Amino acid sequence: MPMHRRLPKKGFSNAAFQDKILTVSIAKLELAFDDGAMVTVAALREKRLVRGQFDAVKILGDGELTKKLTVAIESLSASAKEKIEKAGGSVVAAS
């Protein structure tokens, strides 16, 4: 058997260097927050919608929203932003 087939295969993967982005749907925000609430990463942790270590949080537009929420998250999908504004809420720049 040739030497290159006998040796273990090892290589490099960029998986350890990728950003871990957690996603939260609009439907989960509807269930967890009251009308007029401020949605931040700290508030999401308090409501236990996100846990552990991560680099960013992204709000996705899955589901319906009927409450006026003020969202201060660094990343939103276009459909999530549209649904938040349609419900009377607002999106502010995350600090």
In total, the chain counts a number of residues equal to: 95
Spatial distance between the Cα atoms of 20 and 4, rounded to a whole number of angstroms: 35
The token duo for 66 is 């009927």
pLDDT value at residue 73: 94
In a domain, 1, yes or no: no
pTM to 2 decimal places: 0.80
- The answer to whether 86 and 66 are in contact (CB under 8 A) is no
Residues of the chain with pLDDT under 70: 95
pLDDT value at residue 95: 62
* Domains: count for the chain: 1
In a domain, 5, yes or no: no
Spatial distance between the Cα atoms of 69 and 55, rounded to a whole number of angstroms: 23
Distances (CA, A) of 40 to 11, 92, 95: 39, 10, 10
CATH code at position 23: 3.100.10.10
